Amino acid sequence: MTQPERSRRHVAFDWGGVFTVGTFDGRSTARLAERYGLPVEEVRRHYFDLVHHLEVGEWTLPAFWDEFSGRLGLVGVPYEDFETLYLGSVTRNEPMYALLSRLPLDVRVGLLSNNYPVVSDRLRQDAAFARFDALVFSNEIGHKKPLPQAFDALADAMKVPRETVAFVDDVEENIVAARAAGFRGLLYHHERHAEFERELAAWFAHAPTESA
């Protein structure tokens, strides 16, 4: 990827479905259903009924499991078993991690993710995430995409004009919200990664230089 030497354009990403192959929620609920011999539709119904409490930081992960396991009839299954399976449900999208490592240092890089306690902590510990200049997690700010407050928090953390930031997400609703908030929105799908890289390169290539 090439771009002007002193680019004024920057980029921010979602996590699930962008740095992962498929959604974290979809994979984790499928693994839970398989592990405990439950219908995946039932697991997902209760999961998505409760997960909002995690996404806005109202519940800890153990508190979520207490309620979730009760609804599934899994009372007595230790939280530790759930945490191991839950955290192990990430399938990394390696081309996106490779792209992250190649971004020039004069490009500010952000993350805005609807995420959960413990999971967000693990991401902060990932050495690859040291490249991010701003990490914004819904469970830490109390607001989730597509709410404007979430994008306001990203803009504050990025410390550059929002019109200079392309926001990358795999959900159309979030792209619409990002554009309404003043960002450039880029819709992503891992099966079209090469096409996305070309689109991102074009965004950087047309950035004004410092002398402009």
Query: Tell me: the pLDDT tens digits for 58-111?
Result: 999 999 999 999 999 998 999 999 999 999 999 999 999 999 999 999 999 999
The structure's pTM equals 0.90
pLDDT tens digits, 148-158: 999 999 999 99
The string over 154-185, giving b where at least 16 C-beta atoms fall within 10 Å of a residue's C-beta and e elsewhere, is bbebbeeebebbbbbbbbeebbebbeebebbb
Q: Is the pLDDT of residue 4 over 80?
A: no
The amino acid present at 108, given as its one-letter code, is R
With beta carbons less than 8 A apart as the criterion, state whether 50 and 67 touch: yes
pLDDT band at 52 (very low <50, low <70, confident <90, very high): very high
**Cα–Cα nearest to 169, from 125, 129, 111:** 111
Average pLDDT value for residue range 178-195: 97
How many residues does the structure list for the chain? 212
- The answer for residues whose C-beta is within 8 angstroms of residue 115's C-beta and 6 or more apart is 15, 16, 55, 123, 137, 138, 139
**Cα–Cα nearest to 167, from 191, 192, 134, 139:** 134
Peptide bond into 117 cis (omega under 30): no
